[in-house]
A and B are shown apart, each in its own frame.
Chain A
Amino acid sequence: MDVHLFVPCYLDQVHPEVAMATVTVLRRAGCTVHYSDQQTCCGQPMANTGCADDAAVLARRHLDLFAGKTTVCPSGSCTSMVSHHYHDLGLRLSATDEKTMHRTFELSDFLVNVLGVTDLKARFPHKVSLHQSCHGLRELGLGVMSERRDPPKLGPAEVLLAQVEGLTLVMPERRDECCGFGGTFAVAEADLSARMGHDRCDQLSQGDAEYMTGNDQSCLMHLDGIRKRRGKGPKAIHLAEILACQ
């Protein structure tokens, strides 16, 4: 299958290894990966700050660039921005735009629910705790939400991690508590955000986890920054990186 890679702006610049791992995994799953270096940012930081007009400019660019393509992104919140929030920006959306939004998938969702992978031949002999990032979980529905009483169904990240040889998954006590990142919140309410991050690091350390993983590098970057500063806790590693390990 031909897939077009949507690499969130901060991944491109700060965590290219996650995007590289995404390429590896998609190729291993049999996809032909395309990437356009004309892409920049989906507009999420602007949209979440309320600056809809500024976000709309970027959203328009994004939709035109990815028009009608099957797009995969290794971030739940950026995916959700495209698939769920482009409606909120006052844009005129064509049928193609709607299709583009609809065909934008978060990586784990794509692997499990579109490709139906059952074994990526990944090996990662470690104890890993899973941080389910909020937007992927509560907007894209990538997992069981602790608040809701829906019929139980494993999320794609859990499905994939179960396929990894040697990996022991530990779920934190508060399954899906927010890590406190929240985009500009992390800077505007730095103390609150940090306190939430500390608490989340504690929860993700339970069961002697060596690594904490998830499908949103922004949350992981925040958690790992706190982990490094305090000098204890599991190391952050993106789900794609685990899946790429052999």
Chain B
Amino acid sequence: MTARVPQFHVDSEKFLADQERVGWHDGALWHLRYKRDLATQVVPDWEKLRDQAAAIKAHVLDHIPTLLSQFITNAEAAGWVVHLAPEADDLKRIVLDLLQKNGVTKAVKSKSMLTEECGLNHHLEANGVEVVDTDLGERIVQLRHEPPSHIVVPAIHLKRGEIGELFHEHLGTAKGEDDPIRLTRAARADLRKRFIGAQAGLTGVNFAVADSGAIVICTNEGNADLGTALQPLHIACMGVEKLIPTAADAGVFLRLLARSATGQPITTYSTHIRGPDPTRPGHQAHLVIVDAGRRRLFADDEHRRALSCIRCGACLNTCPVYRRASGHAYGTTVPGPIGAVLAPAMIGTAKAKELPFASTLCGSCTNVCPVKIDLHDQLLSWRRRLAREGHVPFSKRFAMKIGAQALSYPWLFSLGGKIARTFWGLARKGIPGPHAGWTKHRDLPPAPKQSFRGWWKSDGQNQGNPTNKDQDHG
């Protein structure tokens, strides 16, 4: 992942400053969640399907060495040249070597979060290889020199007008043109030339099928197919966690992936590829299998299952915090709930310390996840780890320590309560100090005359039916 230190609080505030855009962004993502709901309603076995997917992934995580060796044997038999990349730098070196050896100066690349995470594009560009991202959303953010803000719809943070401006500048569309159809057509025309002119196609991998040495790549745009069927060299990059045992298992994931992501019953193109194309003499197919920090997640018993993620983006779409903070606030390649679960292991707890707190723990992510990662519990368990390692800010820890002590003594608790109720009334419109965060946007409820315990002692325990005249509905 990028070396940048995520600053969730600061960066989310930046996005929040434009309240109109926040509402628009929330609506766009909720629309994806809504389509996901509709699509899952017509699948009679939806919850069973999730159970099956989770069980397959759990099996995979317990058997990586066996599956990996089976996969490599079958892949090599199918003609893949397999490379192992223990670190991100190895991936960059292997890919650049292959491109240079083959005299490649122009490459096209379909979506791969892994190469994004490893900073591959930058490395290739710095060494004289032009890499064009071909997924429309990725192309848009590439032209803007910014990272994707979402793993499935990378330019979801941008409005059509901004994309129109960008295309006017780079693709020569008419000034002020902001019609999505015409903008898409302009990108199509430009990228066709690049598909045809490229000497190599780089792709990611959605699933690597151990029993047949096939990789499965899913796109809606057809860019991975055009980015592999035309160029003499194909390099596919995959994280080791993409392994699945059998081609039949792929059916489970293909039924889940697009429905969770966009509400389609399956991605438009779900392509299995095995090695080089025999109809094109000289065609080469290389496969780079990457660790790049995944071992740290793997070694962590509490968070290993986060490696099951199939990058559908559903947890981002449903997350009420992501929808209002936007992906860039997370400062990691993968944002949202899953991003906040992966980051502490991938970039270290010190750097990622804010991310597990960027959540209300509402649990919606856990419920949508097609592979049943217990995302909100994972966030909670990262919070515990952060506290143990001393990464929770002192103010928070101190408050909790004082709170826990006061709350251990009922008399101290009720005394504190009495004092607080006295001052509460004075502070209703704006408490100074650490709780100003509360009163910045909200009024405090009026202080009750008496606590419940006070009432119980004086009246409650003896009354048959207490009244509730103390209610404040004002």
Contacts and interface: CB of A to CB of B under 8 A. Distances in A.
Contacts of A58: 404, 407-408
B94 interface: no
B304 interface: no
Most buried by A among B356, B357, B387, B442: B442
A178 B435 contact: no
Interface stretch (B36-44, B139-147, B202-210, B286-294): B36-44
B413 A182 contact: no
A232 interface: no
Given A38-B410, A50-B385, A20 B452 contact: yes
B407 A20 contact: no
A180 interface: yes
Interface in A131-178: 134-135, 137-139, 145-150, 174, 176-178
Nearest to B321: A192
* Category for how many chain A residues contact B: 35 or more
A199 B26 contact: yes
Nearest to B443: A228
A40 interface: yes
A194 B435 CA distance: 14
Interface string B449-463: 011111111001100
Contacts of A241: 468, 471
B contact face: mostly helix, strand, loop, or mixed: helix
A180 B404 contact: no
A82 to B, nearest CB: 15
Contacts of B470: 16-17, 20
Contacts of A45: 400, 403
Nearest to A202: B23
Nearest to A77: B361
Contact of A54 (B362, B363, B404): B404
Given A14-B445, A50-B385, A58-B404, A9 B26 contact: no
A222 to B, nearest CB: 7
B438 A147 contact: no
Interface in A17-73: 17, 19-21, 23-24, 27-28, 35, 37-41, 43, 45-52, 54-55, 57-58, 61
Most buried by A among B13, B417, B468: B468
A138 B367 contact: yes
Contact of A15 (B356, B368, B400, B448): B448
Contacts of B450: 16
Contacts of B281: none
Contact of B452 (A16, A43, A180, A191): A16
Contact of B448 (A17, A27, A182, A190): A17
B249 to A, nearest CB: 21
Given A12-B417, A57-B404, A192 B359 contact: no
**10 A-B pairs with least C-beta separation:** A225-B442, A182-B360, A50-B383, A194-B441, A50-B387, A190-B437, A147-B367, A138-B363, A187-B437, A178-B362
Interface of B: 9, 12-13, 16, 19, 22-23, 26, 30, 37, 40-41, 43, 46-47, 318, 320-321, 324-325, 356-364, 366-368, 380-388, 392, 396-397, 400-401, 403-404, 407-410, 413-414, 417, 420-421, 424, 434-435, 437-438, 440-445, 447-448, 450-457, 460-461, 464-468, 470-474
17 contacts: A9-B413, A20-B470, A27-B464, A40-B407, A50-B385, A51-B401, A134-B360, A137-B363, A149-B41, A178-B364, A182-B359, A187-B435, A189-B357, A191-B12, A191-B440, A194-B442, A195-B324
Given A20-B455, A186-B437, 8 more contacts: A7-B453, A20-B467, A35-B456, A147-B37, A148-B367, A177-B320, A180-B360, A190-B441
